[in-house]
Amino acid sequence: MPLNDCRIIELPKIADARGNLTFVEGGNHIPFDIKRVYYLYDVPGGADRGEHGHKSLHQFVICMSGSFDLVLDDGFDVKRFHLNRSYFGVYVCPMMWRYLDNFSSGSVCMVMASAKYDEQDYIRDKKDFLKAVGAS
């Protein structure tokens, strides 16, 4: 899938004086059914996370609190997304090298995934990833 298929998706936001509510429905707001949810928090200043690709996994990345950057690389082009609102997320296609950096203090990153954890779906070496996408 091309990098342009990875995009920001605005989620429904129900505004209320008591506080806002946002929700995500798999197969409706995002283009896959949700099989797993995980989140990253307490990331030390200057640290980054990710640095891998997935062969077939689809993901949706939301900044629940604070801010951070999501960087996607298809082997030919690179796109950086700055996330800082909980009603926006980025759809991440399979076969994208990704990493997260520029975490603010107290930031929380939530990821929704199309499948349960499967180590066989990971590409953990950038050279192997570039070879797999025909970029090396």
In the chain, what's the furthest Cα-to-Cα distance? Answer: 53
* Contact status, residue 61 vs residue 90, Cβ threshold 8 Å: yes
Whole-angstrom Cα distance, residue 32 to residue 115?
A: 10
Please give the full DSSP string across 110-136, using - where no structure is assigned: EEEESS---GGGEE--HHHHHHHTT--
Active-site annotation holder among 29, 52, 58, 82: 52
Instruction: Decide if 82 is catalytic.
Output: no
CB 125 within 8 Å of CB 50: no
Known catalytic residues are: 52
